[in-house]
């Protein structure tokens, strides 16, 4: 087995974190983005021990598709803004759930697990009620900070044929918290 060089570790981790951060929170900001959120997470496969482990504000999310309901329950002009992120390679030879053909070699750093730590803010438009109608006032926003810790792992479903269509890294574990 070929070891991953430190330069490759850093380059791959930063690129994976950057792509994740720039696409994941944009999806949360889309009006109908909830339907797209599940594509960021590992898929449950009976042949693999990998399962998504998602906790949002202390609440366990059983299935990534449940994030659509959470997304729809937010006010319609909710906006996530990333202020900073950092990343760290956790395991340079992550092989959990890997097909046997992919167990050898890792000089390109494609078999790492990467911790991504994100901080930012969420802007919620103020809601008000007149009779039984709810209205949003985006000029009066409530802003809350958040921290999000995500473990990215390789997407073992990628094949050379459709590599550009799929995400190279998927969320295996996530703990999101609003800051009080």
Q: Is 4 buried (19+), middle (13-18) or exposed (0-12) by CB count in 10 A?
A: buried
Is 91 inside any structural domain? yes
Predicted pLDDT of residue 162 = 60
Range of the domain at 62: 6-179
pLDDT per residue as tens digits for the range 77-135: 899 999 999 999 999 988 888 887 777 777 677 889 999 999 999 998 876 555 555 55
CA distances from 77 to 25, 161, 172 (A): 14, 38, 28
Q: Is 135 within the bounds of a domain?
A: yes
Q: Positive or negative CA dihedral for 28, 61, 86, 99?
A: negative
Residue 99: both structure tokens together: 């097909």
- Percent of the chain past pLDDT 90, that is, above it, reads 56
Within its chain, how far is the Cα of 60 from the centroid? 15
pLDDT single digits (tens) 9-53 = 899 999 999 999 999 999 999 998 999 999 999 998 887 888 999
Dmax (CA) for the chain in angstroms is 68
Question: Does 1 fall in a domain?
Answer: no
pTM of the model: 0.86
Beta bridge partners of 61: 54
Residue 31, domain CATH: 3.10.450.50
Number of structural domains, the chain? 1
- Residue 5 pLDDT: 86
Give a yes or no: residue 66 inside a domain: yes
Q: Is residue 42 part of a domain?
A: yes
């Amino acid at each position: 087995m070929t070891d991953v060089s430190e330069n490759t570790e850093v380059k791959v981790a930063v690129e994976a974190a950057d792509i994740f951060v720039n696409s994941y929170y944009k999806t949360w900001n889309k009006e109908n983005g909830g339907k797209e959120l599940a594509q960021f997470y590992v898929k449950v496969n009976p042949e693999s021990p990998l399962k998504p482990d998602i906790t949002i504000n202390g609440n366990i999310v059983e299935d990534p598709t449940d994030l659509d309901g959470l997304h729809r329950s937010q006010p319609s002009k909710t906006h996530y803004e990333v202020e900073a992120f950092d990343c760290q390679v956790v395991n340079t030879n992550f092989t959990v759930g890997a097909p046997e053909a992919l167990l050898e070699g890792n000089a390109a750093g494609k078999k790492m697990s990467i911790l991504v730590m994100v901080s930012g803010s969420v802007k919620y438009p103020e809601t008000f009620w007149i009779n039984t109608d709810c209205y949003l006032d985006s000029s009066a926003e409530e802003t809350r900070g958040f921290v999000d810790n995500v473990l990215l792992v390789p997407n073992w479903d990628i094949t050379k044929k459709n590599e550009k269509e799929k995400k190279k890294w998927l969320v295996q574990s996530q703990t999101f918290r609003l800051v009080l």
